[in-house]
Amino acid sequence: MAEFDVVVLGGGSGGYACALRSAQLGLSVVLIEKDKLGGTCLHRGCIPTKALLHAGEVADSAKHASEFGVNATFTSMDMTAVNTYKDGVVSKLHKGLQGLVKSRNITYVEGVGRLVSPNTVEVNGEQYTGKSVVLATGSYPRTLPGLDIDGRQIVTSEEAMRFDFVPKSVIVLGGGVIGCEFASVWSSFGSEVTIIEGLPRLVALEDESSSKQLERAFRKRGIKFETGIKFASATKDANGVTVTLENGATFTAEVLLVAVGRGPVTSGIGYEEQGLTMDRGYLIVDDKCRTNVPGVFAVGDIIPTLQLAHVGFAEGIMVAEEIAGLHPRAINYDGVPKVTYSEPEVASVGLTTAQAKERGHDVVELSYDLAGNGKANILKTAGSVKLVAERNGPILGIHMVGSRVGELLAETQLIFNWEATASDVAQHIHAHPTLSEAVGEAHLALAGKPLHAHG
């Protein structure tokens, strides 16, 4: 039996961040992974999808080149080359991560782990015991009853990102982040896309104004969508898949992407047997990611916090610091930046208007239209920066739509997390011409001294 300070089960964003920080703090660490170091984000999530989205952006640039006086034509996508580019990015980052883990003297074990006692994980017949155990086994794509994922006609994001062809038409079941990102990719690649979303709007976790702007932009791009109507059934034949909704409407396409959320990987690996408290498959933890069993922590997609790589990183780091006795601050989940990397992007931090009102804030709002921003005009993008604030108080939420607005979170998440007021931000100079000026202008306007804003 090998003994360590920390045993980490799962080498995705949450697990490897915890292992790296633990090792940095002088703790002995074993990291156990059954597949590839880097997990969903690196191999099946964030990185490959953003590479596809970038390929889509290049395709769109070619299609619209003449609007900028450039003679270029878009003929078609070469999916073999797209996949070579995408896989090249993944493989380079994978090698870098493997090197990093090795350089920090982390013991890396390949194989399926199982929690056999509160402080022991068994892999390939070997037992690894830790003073602390961190569970980080991640998530899998969910499907709906009656939908058999066949990997060709009915697929999840896992198969979709490996396609070596551009489908003529696609139905995307689910208008959340993953669904909207794939809809955007395929539309750029030339597919006809229809999104089906049971909730009343696309990206329903975002501020209502952001959903409206995304819907407007998608409509303009020819991406169709049905919202507020639930899926009933799907049938397939040689021509494609036909989806029927509860109101009887039918849609047929070559491919159906099922993007209805992700479930936690927590069953069959000893968690129930060791008495860990769960709810609908998620491990229940306190604000320091401690489970009900002393010495056992859980981070990332297996706990019911936002399923994002940077949330996993933050939880992994916090747990390592807690184990090392540094007493880190608990995470404020309202302060987590969120991006849907579609064209246009949707980015936010903090509370929506509805959430701020529900929590009893005296809310003031201000929306700055990107039409007044020089760089947005140069890029020919539409959208806005919307501020939600406490009257005469701090900024409570920032919601942005437009090309590249995800990059503006670098500043806006500091504004939110440092509880800045509009006047605090208004005194800072933003470089001209940049999209970040829209953030500055919004705060100037809310502070009562609008420059390029009306009213």
- Using a 10 angstrom Cβ sphere, with 0-12 exposed, 13-18 middle and 19 or more buried, the burial of residue 104 is middle
In the complex, minimum distance from the CB of residue 387 to ligand FAD, in angstroms, rounded to a whole number: 24
Q: Contact between 403 and ligand FAD (CB under 6 A)?
A: no
> What is the gyration radius of the CA atoms in the chain, in angstroms?
23
Q: Is 196 in the site for ligand FAD (CB under 6 A)?
A: no
Kindly state whether residue 97 participates in binding ligand FAD, applying the rule CB under 6 A.
no
Q: Binding segment for ligand FAD among 4-12, 75-83, 204-212, 420-428 (CB under 6 A)? A: 4-12
- Residue 120 makes contact with ligand FAD by CB under 6 A: no
Q: Is 207 a residue that touches ligand FAD (CB under 6 A)?
A: no
Residue with Cβ nearer ligand FAD (316 or 440): 316
For the segment 26-85, give every residue that binds ligand FAD (CB under 6 A). Answer: 32-35, 39-41, 44-46, 49
| CB contact at 8 A, 308 and 338 | yes
User: Per-residue contact track with ligand FAD, 328 to 367, x per CB under 6 A?
Assistant: -------------x--------------------------
Binding mask 146-165 for ligand FAD (x = CB under 6 A): -----------x--------
Least CB distance to ligand FAD at residue 337 (A)? 9
260, amino acid identity: V
According to the binding rule CB under 6 A, does residue 9 interact with ligand FAD?
A: yes
At 297, phi and psi to the nearest 5?
Answer: -115, 160
Closest approach of ligand FAD to the CB of residue 343, in Å: 14
Minimum CB separation of residue 113 from ligand FAD in Å reads 4
The contact set with ligand FAD (CB under 6 A) reads 9-15, 32-35, 39-41, 44-46, 49, 112-113, 136-139, 157, 178, 265, 269, 300-301, 307-310, 312, 341
